[in-house]
């Protein structure tokens, strides 16, 4: 895989996790601490 393609995929994944966690926070009313943990776990799985 091209290095640039891998970098772009990583950025998309990280920003996707941030967007999904923010969407959960707004939709379900979760606290910001919970969404922060979701982001850390999700990005850690990368």
Indicate the burial class of 8 (C-beta count within 10 angstroms; 0-12, 13-18, 19 or more): exposed
What is the span of the domain harbouring residue 34?
Answer: 3-44
For the record, the structure tokens of 39 come out as 């982001």
- The tokens for 28 are 């379900």
Provide the pLDDT for residue 4. 93
Per-residue confidence (pLDDT) for residue 45, from 0 to 100: 86
pLDDT of residue 21: 92
Per residue in 1-44, pLDDT (tens digit) is 689 999 999 999 999 999 999 999 999 998 989 999 989 998 88
Q: State the pLDDT at residue 16.
A: 94
- Domains in the chain, number: 1
- Cβ neighbour number for residue 32 with a 10 Å cutoff: 10
Tell me the CA end-to-end span of the chain in Å, nearest whole number. Answer: 16
Q: Name the token pair of 33.
A: 């601490």
């Amino acid at each position: 895989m091209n290095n640039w393609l891998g970098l772009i995929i990583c950025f998309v994944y990280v920003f996707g996790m941030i967007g999904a966690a923010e969407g959960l926070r707004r939709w379900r009313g979760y606290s910001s601490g919970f969404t922060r943990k979701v982001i850390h776990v999700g990005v850690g799985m990368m």
